[in-house]
Amino acid sequence: MQEATRAITLESLLAEVARLKAEGWRFVTLTASELDAERLELLYHFDRELRLQHLRAAVAKTAEVPSISPVFFAAALVENEVQDLFGLRFTGLLLDFRGRLYLEEESPMPPFCRRGREAEAPRGGGGSEAPGGESCATR
Amino acid sequence: MRHTVIPFGPQHPVLPEPIHLQLTIREERVIEARPALGFVHRGLERLVESRDIAQMVQVVERVCGICSMIHAHCFCMGVEALLGIEAPPRAQVLRVMWSELHRVQSHLLWLGLFADCLGFESLFMQFWRIRERILDLSEATAGNRVIVSVNVIGGVRRDPDDAQLAWMSAEIDRIEEDLRRLEPATLDDPTVRRRTVGKGVLSRAQAWELGAVGPTARASGIAEDIRLTKYAAYGRLYFEPVVETDGDSHARLRVRFREALASLDLVRRAIRLLPAGEVRLKLKEPPAPHGETVVRVEQPRGELVYYLKGSGEKRLDRVRIRTPTFANLPALLVMLPGVSLSDVPVVTLSIDPCISCTER
Amino acid sequence: MTAGALFVIVALAAGLGIGVISAGFDRILTARLQSRVGPPLLQPVYDVVKLALKEPLIVNAWQAFCACTTLAAAILAWVLFFLQSDLLLVFFVQAVGAVFLVVGALAAASPYSHIGAHRELLQMLAYEPLLILVFIGMYLETGSFRLEALFAWPKPLLLRLPFLFLVLAFALIVKMRKSPFDLSSCHHAHQELVRGVLTDYSGPLLALAEVAHWFEVALILGLFTLFWPDGGVGRFLLPVAAWLGVIAVDNLTSRANWRWMLGCAWGLGLGLAIVNLVWIR
Amino acid sequence: MRALRRFIDRMRAKSPWLLHFDCGSCNGCDIEILACLTPLYDVERFGVVHQGNPLHADLLVASGTVNPRNRKVLENLYAQMPAPKVVVAVGACGLSGGVFRDAYNVVGGIDRVIPVDVYVPGCPPRPEAIIDGVVLGLQKIARGGEGR
Amino acid sequence: MFELAPVILRNLLRGPATRRYPLVTREPFPRARGEIENEISRCTLCGLCARRCPARCLEVEPQSGRWRWDPFVCVYCGVCVETCPAHSLRQKETGRRPATSRETVLLQGEPRRRGGGARPAPPPDAPARERP
Amino acid sequence: MDVRVCGILVVVLAPFAGAALCGILGRSPSGRRAVVLTTGGVVMLAALSLLGEVPFRLEIPAVLHAPLEIAFFAADAVLLAAFLYIGAKYRHAAILVLSFLQAAGLLVFKGFLARSAGPPGGVVCDALALLLVLIVSVVGSLICFQALPYMDNHERHYRVSPSRQPRFFAILLLFLGAMNGFVLFNDLGSLYVFFELTTLCSFLLIGHDRTHVAVKNALRALWMNSVGGLAFALGMIEAYRSAGTLDLAQALAAPRLEGDAIYFVALALFGLACLVKSAQFPFQGWLLGAMVAPTPVSALLHSSTMVKIGVYFLLRLAPGFPGTFLGQALALAGAFGFLAAAALAVGQSNGKKVLAYSTISNLGLMFACIGVNTGSALLAATLLLTFHAVLKAMLFLSVGAIEQHIESRDIEDMRGLYAAMPLTAMITLAGVVMMIFPPFGVLLGKWMAIEAAARHLPAVVMIALGSALTVLYWARWAGTLLSDPLGTRFHAERQPLLTWLALGSLCLGTAALSVAAPWLVEGGMASIGQPADETAYTVVRGGLESASGSFAVLPLSLAAACGLLLSALALRRASRARPVPPYLSGLQTGEAAVFRGPMQQPVRVAARNYYLDTLFGEERLNPWVNFGGAILLTLILGGVL
């Protein structure tokens, strides 16, 4: 990629995002892609005056990722999407669909993890336990 | 206590697309809006597994029928960047021409739908009548009315001749004249103003924080337009984003109306600028790019982001599409509480939602 | 007795005719104003016949009761008008129809019907006082509420009650469910309330409601004839003019919300009416 | 009696009220369906009125791919329409899933869920083709009478 | 409130803009993308169209000589036409008509024998409709 | 003794006797029941027996003059002492002051002015008095009957022990006697006693439950009504001063010379007393507070009878109004009350409060009619008084029955009541229909009111607005009752027989009276408040006709019956058609009114009525209506000075 990309860890994620926000960077989106059977790659994209900057983190599929939605509410939707499609669990989501943003029970789960099906079991906390109706609330 | 709970959508006459809003209202005042998506989710990003790069162009064109040209444009630009090639100059200008034509078409469509959701049926009919002529231009030059399908990796598939281009210029002039005739009714009509001024206000700070893009952001005073990055041939066309500062539905209406006019002008100037030459690179072998890239273009609804990752095979590893509506939805959720029920369609449409884009 | 029955049949036919022609021409004219061709003139008839023969789907059985009562009241009001009864009485009877339509909508458990019903009530709140004041104006001028006397009044009421004419036209907009006051339901279902008060009436019940609407529109159009004495073309032209005005306004405005409508009715409408009433007193 | 029956069928064919449901379409078909209502095509000539309400509709015009979530909506809408009713599927996605038919969240075309009477191919079909489809559907109503 | 008045008056006076479609048909634009046609006599059954088709609506069976096109899956993008080396595929300018039942277009071409060889005269098969 | 004397004695004295008996025998439920049923039945029969006799006047035998005078004076003293005691007990300054002023005034009056007041005025039983006697005796008795099962339930529910019903029924019966006394006696002095007696009954009954709110509201009712009492006392003094007699008929008949007849000042003071008693703005507060009382109390005192005292008395005084500024002001105040109360009713979801505001609203309309004071206006007031009394009693009783069943009086909780209590819901619905639709009596009255008030521009504008608001709050309620009873078949739910008796007879009675309205008018109503020379309406082919309008009661009733029959048939047919869920954007589930919401959770549609409290809420309107009411009151009082 031609733009600045920095590798970060999950621990430093929130601090980094907060710093970028303070510097005037706009949250563009989050891209998840599958690295291998165990890991996913998360790419956070930010924009300032038409220039992009990316934060890159490799995370285990079973990891609990801190949600950046308290910093950028705009991230809530995309984090839900990743939770749906990759089965990755985000904690502290301001708007949590619990894996039911796009998918129904009969949809294949999680559809984007195709290498190593063992990542299937914990589905964003929504599959097994009955999802409570109240958690899906706008702030 | 006295709350009414309404399922708004997925099937609802003012929503052209299925999205569900569970509205909690109290005597027409919205207290809470809970969204539900997933009625259009197809999972097309994963089609990269079974489609080669050239076929993917046809797939991404169908992410959204209203801005299909621009999706394909973005995708092709991304692949071309990965391959380290560039489309010929004529193709670049043609892409801009069709993109802007698409933008006009999309804005006219939106203006019509917006008028309709205000209950202004006759205005709706007028906008869509004009829009038909844009579609004729598309069909005549690209072969299709809606999903124009002209982009390929390394250029475009159609090359309009001079007679067509001259006819297009003349037609654009007439369309502009017709459009300007609707300007007073659209922007100044007191009943329209009453329904839009002050409805769904998004301040500049909110718009930035919620990541709003495109006309939604520009109506709140954020002068951001990806076309300013001078991709394709935009660097060679003088162009200034349309910005309003009120941040309400009427500001968004003004932005889109003026943008439609500006885009007509861009089409006209692109035609004038059109260099002679090839429109399509002859690729020796099927493209098999390696590496990753983020490409952005300006869609009618705002910033469109593609993330492409290839590993040297003829199928990409990952395509990720972040559409403008996806970025504007958080703003919508913040704007809805507090508006009256009759303004829910107005505010919802004012971000020009495109759900098929959003959910892919 | 037979003469009476015949008269009632003529009245019914006239009401139906006026309703159908008004609705049919409305759709054609609207289409032409939007540079479309529009449906055939008898399209409302086709619609109603089709609806009447559709499978009856029942959301709440009371809707059938209410739709039937609505139609009965609309017809009765029209027949009373035709029989030259008392103006206020005609008004009260037509209100029965309007209210039962609302009651039926409230009976369905859909929020769309519900909100539509409440908006319909708010619309009644807007136009009912205006209609009463129009009648009061006619009484002050002619000394009678009897249609008999009003029809026979030799002088054009329009010249004395011009503002009340406008006020009645306002009521016509609301009654014809036209923009800007098509709040509770409108003919083209591009509305946040789907079809509002009519949402859960389906098939034959909708047909009943539709026919009732014809009679209601015929009644209000009929009221315009009172503004001109017998024998003049004005008697025919005034309702037509009002009708044309309503269609034009429909195509020139977007939909209002209820606060605005109530403001218009109770501010502007009431103001005009009172000015006119004070003037003629 | 026969004449009456024919009269009724004619009335039905002259007043098709249309319900449009976008299952999971890319909007291409939807805007072409909507375009049919606008001045250049004006399907109101045939008495077509766009109804937002299945309870009032005779003609369900559906477009787009069916997915597990919207199939329930589609079933609901179909069940809520009074007989006689006709379903017109519009566009490649609605007919079969089109270019998306092997995507993971796609069940297939409309006829996987509800019986389809008229298929309008195209991606998207031109408004003329949609009008043709509607007219075919009307013939079906006029012929069948009973519907389903 | 009367901002639109000139426009609607104009509309009224100028008459409807409607093209009365079934009665009046407009000439299609040149090179508009419509129905796919295969001149089966020229088709070499190479299968490139099927491989390039983004919608996977084509099936070519060289052994049996069958060329099958599913118009209900086709997105009419014209990629097959562009890639056809034998130029047997053609795209009409008018779209395919609506149908009341599922249909596929099955054309019977000359089965390709292993090892190739001279091709005899093509059988004049008309398009056949097949119902599943 | 002839029928007249006998009848009068029974209707006035039997309730007092019943009250006393109730105090003695009321401990046992059956004894209580027997006393109430017997008293009610006897009073009802006696009142009916007077039907053919009117008008007549009975003089009180001379031997009774002195004892009666002493008795009434003693009663006055006891009542005022009671008020003072209450004021002292609850440390309520307003009650103390007002009662003291009344006591002082009366002492002065009896001691110095009215030494030679002459013989008490006797009993005048004309059409108006008989109408009231019939309402009090028949409707009142029916309410008392229904109160028997109601209070049993009530005490069971609130676990009241020992039973306080003997006291309750004693007061209820006492009230009947007081009411009958008030409408029959012709002597201002006696009227005053009965007036205060009703106030006391009202106070005791409002506070019956002895909760904090009940006591507070009872005290409010008492002090506000004491304002009325004081006004009445002053009016009486002033009337005596100007007319020289306490005989009402004589005073009214006295030549109307300035300062000579019962005129401006007295009339205005009586007007004030009536407005207070009828809870017109700004005194509406006490009636709303009175809704804490058990529902039969609300039905009897606070809608059908006691609050009608104001209307009755002004109707009696009506000949004094024509052409006066007072009449104009009264018309304005009444119309204002009609509009303001209707607007406030729109903002309420509490069923009893809606009924209360509706009562205030209708009373306002009656006052407006009396103020307009033409022949047809007075007839309108009479018709409204009659039909409102019967119908509102029924509606209150229905709400009482509903409240005991669903344990709420909120309209929102009555959603789908048809499924739970079909017959009561139907009766309530019928009540609503008879309240706002032709050809029923209330609307007949309203029609006359509008036609009569047509020349009184400010009043008629307010009436027009108020009518529309009235339709709104009733229609909303009616629709709510029918909401979503899908699949339930009609059946009469279990209710005590006495409840059905009261509800059924009141419901059918209203319908029958409505159809018979033209003949009621012809049969004597038209003469009320008017010297009988003017007949505003004639009966033509079962309808009422005046010079300016006609109301075809009988033909319309027939048409309505046909329409009802057809609609009922449609209802039957529809019950057999295919049921579908309502429109829920395609998200309906198998369960009625539940849709699949976000995250595929089942969500219940909660459709709620509009109460528009930003426009019509009490907080918003109260300052305005109180201000308006106060202004108009000042106008009434100040105008005469």
Whether residue A110 is predicted with pLDDT greater than 80 in this model: the reply is no
Q: What pLDDT does residue F137 have?
A: 92
Selected for mutation to probe chain C from E1, E12, E14 (highest C CB count within 10 Å) is E12
Question: Which residue type occupies F227?
Answer: V
Rounded CA-CA distance B112/B124 in Å is: 4
Q: What pLDDT does residue F203 have?
A: 92
Average pLDDT over residues B187-201: 89
Rounded CA-CA distance F184/F198 in Å is: 14
Is the CB of residue F610 less than 8 Å away from at least one CB of chain B?
Answer: yes
Chain B segment 289-328 residues within 8 A of F by beta carbon are: none
Q: What pLDDT does residue F262 have?
A: 52
For strands B302-311 and B318-322, give the pairing: antiparallel
A10-24, B52-66, F605-619, range with the lowest pLDDT: F605-619
Where residue F343 falls among pLDDT bands split at 50, 70, 90?
very high
Our CA-based measurement puts residue F453 at a distance from the nearest CA of chain C, in whole angstroms, of: 10
User: How many CA atoms are closer than 13 Å to the CA of F80, on its beta-carbon side?
Assistant: 21
Tokens found for residue F167: 């006291």
Sequential DSSP letters for F191-220: HHHHHHHHHHHHHHHHGGG--HHHHHHHHH
DSSP 8-state secondary structure symbol assigned to residue F592: T
The answer to whether residues F325 and F272 touch, using CB atoms and an 8 Å cutoff, is no
Does the distance separating the beta carbons of D21 and B18 come in below 8 Å?
yes
Our CA-based measurement puts residue B164 at a distance from the nearest CA of chain C, in whole angstroms, of: 28
Which parts of chain E register pLDDT below 50?
Answer: 116-132
Our CA-based measurement puts residue B45 at a distance from the nearest CA of chain D, in whole angstroms, of: 9
Q: What pLDDT does residue C168 have?
A: 92
Our CA-based measurement puts residue A102 at a distance from the nearest CA of chain F, in whole angstroms, of: 9
Long-range contacts at F319-323 (CB < 8 A, ≥ 24 apart): F319/F252, F319/F529, F319/F530, F319/F531, F320/F252, F320/F256, F320/F261, F320/F262, F320/F263, F320/F267, F321/F267, F321/F370, F321/F371, F321/F373, F322/F373
Q: What pLDDT does residue B5 have?
A: 86
Helix extents (H) in D1-148: 2-14, 28-35, 68-80, 91-96, 127-144
Q: What pLDDT does residue A120 have?
A: 44
Strand partners, A58: A41
Whether residue A56 is predicted with pLDDT greater than 50 in this model: the reply is yes
Measured between beta carbons, the chain E residues lying within 8 angstroms of B189 are: 1, 3-4
Whole-prediction pTM value?
0.91
Chains C, F: CB pairs < 8 Å: 220
The answer to whether residues F429 and F437 touch, using CB atoms and an 8 Å cutoff, is no
Does the distance separating the beta carbons of B14 and D103 come in below 8 Å?
no
Rounded CA-CA distance D46/D130 in Å is: 13
Q: What pLDDT does residue F531 have?
A: 53
In chain B, % helix, strand, coil (3-state, to 5) comes to: 50, 15, 35
Tokens found for residue F168: 């309750």
Q: What pLDDT does residue C21 have?
A: 93
Selected for mutation to probe chain D from A84, A86, A102, A104 (highest D CB count within 10 Å) is A104
Whether residue D59 is predicted with pLDDT greater than 80 in this model: the reply is yes
Average pLDDT over residues F54-67: 82
Does the distance separating the beta carbons of D55 and C59 come in below 8 Å?
yes
D102-116, F110-124, F171-185, F537-551, range with the lowest pLDDT: F110-124
Q: What is the distance in angstroms between the CA of the first residue and the CA of the last residue of chain D?
A: 22
Average pLDDT, chain F: 86
Nearest CA-CA partner of C193 in D73, B12, F606: B12
Is the CB of residue A102 less than 8 Å away from at least one CB of chain D?
Answer: yes
Measured between beta carbons, the chain B residues lying within 8 angstroms of D26 are: 62-65, 68, 147, 356
In chain F, % helix, strand, coil (3-state, to 5) comes to: 75, 5, 20
Q: What pLDDT does residue A122 have?
A: 42
Strand partners, F621: none
Rounded to the nearest 10 degrees, how much is the dihedral formed by the CA atoms of E49, E54, E55, E57? 10
For tokens 């993917």, what's the residue? Answer: B56
Rounded CA-CA distance B342/D52 in Å is: 16
Is the CB of residue F550 less than 8 Å away from at least one CB of chain B?
Answer: no
pLDDT above 90 as % of chain A: 0
Does the distance separating the beta carbons of F412 and B2 come in below 8 Å?
yes
Q: What pLDDT does residue A71 have?
A: 87
Tokens found for residue C161: 């009650």
Is the CB of residue F574 less than 8 Å away from at least one CB of chain D?
Answer: no
Q: What pLDDT does residue F533 have?
A: 47
Strand partners, A79: none
Does the distance separating the beta carbons of C39 and D55 come in below 8 Å?
no
Chains C and A touch (3+ CB pairs under 8 A): no
Average pLDDT over residues B129-151: 88
The answer to whether residues F148 and F207 touch, using CB atoms and an 8 Å cutoff, is no
Does residue E33 or residue A114 have the better pLDDT?
E33
User: How many CA atoms are closer than 13 Å to the CA of B115, on its beta-carbon side?
Assistant: 28
Rounded CA-CA distance B215/B252 in Å is: 6
Does the distance separating the beta carbons of A137 and B34 come in below 8 Å?
yes
Chain D segment 26-85 residues within 8 A of E by beta carbon are: 39-42, 45
Measured between beta carbons, the chain C residues lying within 8 angstroms of D142 are: none
Is the CB of residue E126 less than 8 Å away from at least one CB of chain D?
Answer: no
Q: How far is CA C17 from CA B68, C11, C40, D4, in A?
A: 50, 10, 15, 22
Q: What pLDDT does residue B154 have?
A: 85
Q: What pLDDT does residue D67 have?
A: 87
Out of C37, C46, C187, closest to residue D14 by CB: C46
Condensed to tens digits (0 to 9), the pLDDT of residues B89-134 reads 899 999 999 999 999 999 999 999 898 888 888 888 899 989 999 9
Q: What pLDDT does residue F389 have?
A: 92
Is the CB of residue B284 less than 8 Å away from at least one CB of chain F?
Answer: no
Within 10 angstroms of residue B262's Cβ, the number of other Cβ atoms is 18
Q: What pLDDT does residue E131 have?
A: 39
Q: What pLDDT does residue F544 have?
A: 84
Q: What pLDDT does residue A137 have?
A: 35
Selected for mutation to probe chain E from D96, D136, D139 (highest E CB count within 10 Å) is D96
Tokens found for residue D106: 């796609």
Q: What pLDDT does residue F38 have?
A: 92
Our CA-based measurement puts residue C186 at a distance from the nearest CA of chain B, in whole angstroms, of: 9
A70 sits in which H/E element: none
Selected for mutation to probe chain B from A44, A81, A84 (highest B CB count within 10 Å) is A81
Does the distance separating the beta carbons of D53 and F583 come in below 8 Å?
yes
Condensed to tens digits (0 to 9), the pLDDT of residues C36-87 reads 888 999 899 999 988 888 888 888 888 899 999 999 999 999 999 988 888 9
Average pLDDT, chain B: 88
Nearest CA-CA partner of D103 in D70, D71, D65, D64: D65
Whether residue F529 is predicted with pLDDT greater than 70 in this model: the reply is no
Average pLDDT over residues F473-480: 90
Q: What pLDDT does residue F379 have?
A: 87
ipTM of the complex in this document: 0.89
Which residue from E minimizes the CA distance to B127? E7
User: How many CA atoms are closer than 13 Å to the CA of B138, on its beta-carbon side?
Assistant: 27
Our CA-based measurement puts residue C34 at a distance from the nearest CA of chain E, in whole angstroms, of: 6
Measured between beta carbons, the chain B residues lying within 8 angstroms of A45 are: 294, 305, 307, 322
Is the CB of residue A129 less than 8 Å away from at least one CB of chain F?
Answer: no
A33-42, B13-22, F597-606, range with the lowest pLDDT: F597-606
Does the distance separating the beta carbons of A73 and B322 come in below 8 Å?
no
The answer to whether residues A45 and A28 touch, using CB atoms and an 8 Å cutoff, is yes
For tokens 């959204």, what's the residue? Answer: B64
Whether residue F119 is predicted with pLDDT greater than 70 in this model: the reply is no
Chains A, D: CB pairs < 8 Å: 18
Residue D54 exposed, middle or buried by CB count within 10 Å (0-12, 13-18, 19+): buried
Strand partners, B306: B295, B321
Rounded CA-CA distance B282/F444 in Å is: 90
Q: How far is CA C241 from CA C172, C181, C221, C232, C238, in A?
A: 12, 19, 10, 15, 5
Does the distance separating the beta carbons of E25 and D121 come in below 8 Å?
no
Question: Which residue type occupies D139?
Answer: Q
F contact chains, 3+ CB pairs < 8 A: A, B, C, D
Q: How far is CA B279 from CA B79, B155, B234, B312, C213, in A?
A: 17, 6, 17, 26, 61
Q: What pLDDT does residue B261 have?
A: 92
Condensed to tens digits (0 to 9), the pLDDT of residues B1-13 reads 578 888 887 888 8
Angle at F626 (CA atoms; ends F620, F630), nearest 5 degrees: 155
Q: What pLDDT does residue D10 have?
A: 79
Tokens found for residue D40: 């250049």
Angle at C29 (CA atoms; ends C28, C35), nearest 5 degrees: 90
Which residue from A minimizes the CA distance to D71? A104
For strands B4-8 and B20-26, give the pairing: antiparallel
Average pLDDT over residues F347-373: 91
Does the distance separating the beta carbons of C191 and B119 come in below 8 Å?
yes
Which residue from E minimizes the CA distance to D86? E100
Where residue F254 falls among pLDDT bands split at 50, 70, 90?
low
Whether residue B195 is predicted with pLDDT greater than 90 in this model: the reply is no
Where residue A128 falls among pLDDT bands split at 50, 70, 90?
very low
Where residue A133 falls among pLDDT bands split at 50, 70, 90?
very low
Q: What pLDDT does residue F230 have?
A: 92
Out of E18, E22, E72, closest to residue D119 by CB: E72
Q: What pLDDT does residue A121 have?
A: 42
Rounded CA-CA distance F371/F458 in Å is: 13
Q: What pLDDT does residue F117 have?
A: 57
